Amino acid sequence: MTIGTIFGTIILVTKREKRVKKLFQNPKTVPFKELDRVLGDSGFALRQPGSGSSHYIYTKGNIQISVPFRRPFVKEIYVKRVLELLGGEDEKEKS
């Protein structure tokens, strides 16, 4: 956790928040490992593919997202979908 100050107000920034911010800043160059870490930190459970599939499935409650493993970077559309899910999750946590 990093502590910073803006106009005399102390702001706590967690590693999870930094990772999500990094995804927002450049969704075109996100390695699969980074996306996996963000989803794991957000409470999503991973179900690895079986019998030759390259799609990893993440679930949390009723929410499910499938992300294909791709090198060097995950396609932008999947990163944006994850960001939309995380944005919705953050709103639920605040209420």
Examine the pLDDT at 4 and tell me if it is beyond 60. no
Give the model's pLDDT for residue 9. Answer: 57
Examine the pLDDT at 8 and tell me if it is beyond 60. no
What is the Cα–Cα distance from 49 to 28, expressed in whole angstroms?
Answer: 24
pLDDT band (50, 70, 90) for residue 17: confident
Give the model's pLDDT for residue 59. Answer: 93
What letter represents residue 5's amino acid? T
Torsions phi, psi of 32, nearest 5? Answer: -55, -40
Give the model's pLDDT for residue 14. Answer: 79
Indicate the burial class of 67 (C-beta count within 10 angstroms; 0-12, 13-18, 19 or more). Answer: buried
- The predicted-structure confidence for 35-93, as pLDDT tens digits, reads as follows 999 999 889 999 887 777 888 999 999 999 999 888 899 999 999 999 998 885 554 44
Delineate the domains of the chain, giving CATH numbers in brackets: 15-94 (3.30.920)
What is the Cα–Cα distance from 65 to 56, expressed in whole angstroms?
Answer: 8
